[in-house]
Amino acid sequence: MGSPRIRPDAATVVAAGLLAVIGANLLPLVGVLAWGWDLTSLLIVYWVEALATVLLAALKALFAERGSPSVPGGIEPLHELRAKRGGWQPRDGWPPIYPRNVPFALSILGFWVVTVCPLTFLYLSWVSPTAALSPSLGLSIVALLVAQASSFVSEYVGDERYRDVSAREVLRTPGLLGLVIVTLGWLGTAGRAGGLVVLAGAVLAKTGVSASRFYADRVGRPILHLGERFGGGAAFSEPPPELDVPEAAVIARVAADRRSVLLGSVGAIGFGFVHRLGLCTLAAFGFALLVRDPPLIAVTGLAVLAVVAARVLSYYLRYGTVEYRRRGDALVAYDRLLDAPQWIVSVEPTMDVSVRNAIADRLLGTGTLVVSGVDSVDRDEVRLGPVRDVDRAVERLDLPVARTDRPDRDPAAIAACAGLSLLFLAVPAGLFLTPRVETSTAVGVSVAFGPFFVLLVGVLVWAALSRI
């Protein structure tokens, strides 16, 4: 985490808040001892708390101002938005929403959908709990939700704590609560729901987790250095990745071609399913087709369309709202919607610029340039475009580009890719046309091996279109 935020005159406030957190988390212990709560009652309270925490954490992550280091080996939904700089303020007086934090917010929501929710339904079907909702249980849930909402409004937004945290920091607490729920569910399925010691121990463990997280968030270091023992001292926050615009006046502007950006987003849709949430959405849709349940097909189909729409909007936000400006000796990619520069590079004779062989550019006659060796970003290259007329853009921006033509058309490669695509598509088509194979079997094989064929055909179609 960042540097400690606590001040000597704020120690009393932190201590009072810590006592309040401990008292609120020990309230279920009263329910266990005085109101006869069982394990299912605890699960209901903690499940609602975890759900509220997850939803608020996803909302908090959108406002987090500091940068978040990359997750090693992880691919978040809409991960391409991680490269966006700047924020969008929905209205005056509100903190800005940072698109770079959207992947983290979707990641925690996706984790809840694909892990906690299925485990919850499995627990309900396995244990068949018969807990009755009592007034004390309802009162505890209402108090819990009110406390969560008031903390968000008064502390996170009112005290502007969003300025001192990153999206990765915000999303650590929901993971701990999810672990508590899974542990309690395991105790229930193991047949240990009736022990008073088990119930009291679960409440005390949950209280310790919440108190430790509260102290670490306010003070900047964990209690007893438990975070260093289990977290390996990993960094969860870094300075905001904003750039300073050069002071030189704008002498030329070239806007991105929106038609080409939208067409290019079609090729990027497939990458929207390369993560847990996307794969589970496709699997659910395939299962719905297999069982032929119209309501389930409609729901899962809408989920697939939502992923597609989110991917298209994300791609458009990445490239469609950018304007390329020449400021003195610098070339600036400026996002007009977010009012922030995305990358800056010095224009020199040795500048490494090449032409991107994009399918959308071939179909619409637009052009895209690739600039390598940009120091203002943490990736190897950045994209300039697509623009309506690449030659005119090079001239207006005065870029050291000698040739802007793309590779010539290759009819032989187009024919070969088209033939192989038809060959692969003939396999699932033959299953449905052959009378010896039942329709249910054909659907099952298609669902099981469909992603493999879609991947192969997609690569071949892309290769063919790139040679048009």
Q: What is the pLDDT of residues 302-360, one digit of tens each?
A: 988 988 898 899 999 999 999 999 999 999 999 999 999 999 999 888 888 888 888 88
pLDDT value of residue 7: 45
Q: Is the pLDDT of residue 187 over 70?
A: no
Enter the DSSP assignment of 166. B
* pLDDT band with cut points at 50, 70 and 90 for residue 6: very low
pLDDT value of residue 4: 46
The residue among 389, 343, 397, 395 whose CA lies nearest residue 368 is 389
Average pLDDT, stretch 42-65? 84
What 3 state SS string does 394-408 have?
Answer: HHHHCCCCCCCCCCC
* Neighbouring-strand partners of residue 325: 253, 332
Q: What is the pTM of this model?
A: 0.76
pLDDT value of residue 225: 46
- The SS3 call for residue 387 is strand
> Using an 8 Å Cβ cutoff, are 373 and 245 in contact?
no
Q: Is the pLDDT of residue 1 over 80?
A: no
Write down the H helix ranges in 97-195: 102-111, 117-127, 135-151, 167-170, 172-189
- Of 237-251, 371-385, 443-457, the poorest mean pLDDT is in 443-457
Element (H, E) at 344: strand 340-346
CB count in 10 Å sphere of residue 444: 15
pLDDT value of residue 227: 44
pLDDT value of residue 337: 92
* pLDDT band with cut points at 50, 70 and 90 for residue 18: low
The pLDDT mean for the chain works out to 77
- Look at the block and give the residue holding tokens 């892309």: 462
Element (H, E) at 384: strand 381-387
pLDDT in tens, 381-435: 899 989 999 999 999 999 988 777 766 666 777 777 777 777 777 777 776 777 7
The residues, any chain, with a CB within 8 Å of residue 282's CB and separated by 6 or more, are 273, 304, 451
* Neighbouring-strand partners of residue 97: 88
Average pLDDT, stretch 78-104? 89
* pLDDT band with cut points at 50, 70 and 90 for residue 233: very low
CB count in 10 Å sphere of residue 293: 13
Measured CA angle at 297 (ends 296, 298), to 5 deg: 90
